[in-house]
């Protein structure tokens, strides 16, 4: 079976809404001007952030085979550094943090899975004693240690993402908060007659 190439940002999008990810993957719809402006603004904020993170290695491209899953992870962590045998990984998010804890952290699940993918890549590239992960939001920073439970969580989502690549059509979320501002809210309805299954 051909290996599936996955970018951590794809995983972020997939966890946010698998159906949106499906449409992105198979139809590759163009973004609106406002969406492109927001993306550019995000990139600009990342550039500013990196300028002030001296001592960190920034935006290095990694390509890592995921053991046993026929997946290749490809991506650039925002910033990381090696520190007396352990690593610090930082991921900047321009939005606000969630108010509740999930999996022991106050980080959106989609952001968590994305940063776990970066942590996995670093673990494979450097095999450090430990990896400390810091997710930086506008209103809150969360720091935690990458461990085997987080790795299992990441693998679980990689398995689900592979199902999408292999043709699984995710059902609609019917989430008013997400769907009302989704760029695919009209197209999404057109998929309603397709067979869908639980992921």
Contact residues: ligand SF4, CB under 6 A: 17, 19-20, 23, 172-173, 178-179, 182, 184-185, 188
Specify the length of the chain in residues.
199
Pick 114 or 131: Cβ nearer ligand SF4:
114
Backbone angles phi and psi of 96, in degrees to 5: -90, 160
| Whole-angstrom distance, CA of residue 118 vs CA of residue 164 | 21
Pick 19 or 93: Cβ nearer ligand SF4:
19
| Whole-angstrom distance, CA of residue 197 vs CA of residue 169 | 7
Pick 53 or 183: Cβ nearer ligand SF4:
183
Pairing between strand 71-75 and 4-6? Answer: parallel
Q: From the CB of residue 57, how many other CB atoms can be counted at a distance below 10 Å? A: 12
CA torsion angle for 148, 151, 156, 157 (degrees, to 10)? 160
Q: By the 8 A CB rule, do 134 and 90 touch?
A: yes
Least distance between ligand SF4 and beta carbon 21 (Å)? 8
Cα 82 from chain centroid (whole Å): 22
Pick 22 or 118: Cβ nearer ligand SF4:
22
Least distance between ligand SF4 and beta carbon 110 (Å)? 12
Least distance between ligand SF4 and beta carbon 12 (Å)? 14
Pick 50 or 163: Cβ nearer ligand SF4:
163
SS3 134: strand
Least distance between ligand SF4 and beta carbon 192 (Å)? 10
Least distance between ligand SF4 and beta carbon 184 (Å)? 4
């Amino acid at each position: 079976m051909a290996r599936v190439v996955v970018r951590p940002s794809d995983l972020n999008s997939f966890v946010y809404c698998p159906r949106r990810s499906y449409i992105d993957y198979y139809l590759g719809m163009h973004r609106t001007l406002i969406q492109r402006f927001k993306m550019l603004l995000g990139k600009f904020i990342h550039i500013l952030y990196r300028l002030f993170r001296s001592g960190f290695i920034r935006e290095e491209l990694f390509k890592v085979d995921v053991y046993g899953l026929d997946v290749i992870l490809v991506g650039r962590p925002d910033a990381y550094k090696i520190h007396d045998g352990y690593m610090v990984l930082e991921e900047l998010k321009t939005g606000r943090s969630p108010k509740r804890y999930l999996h022991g952290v106050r980080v959106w699940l989609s952001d968590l899975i994305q940063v776990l993918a970066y942590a996995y890549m670093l673990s494979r590239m450097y095999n450090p004693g430990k990896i400390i992960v810091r997710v930086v939001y506008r209103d809150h920073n969360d720091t935690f240690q990458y461990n085997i439970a987080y790795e299992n969580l990441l693998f679980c989502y990689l398995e689900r993402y592979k199902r999408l690549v292999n043709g699984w059509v995710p059902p609609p979320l019917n989430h008013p908060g997400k769907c009302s501002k989704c760029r695919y809210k009209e197209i999404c309805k057109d998929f309603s007659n397709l067979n869908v299954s639980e992921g």
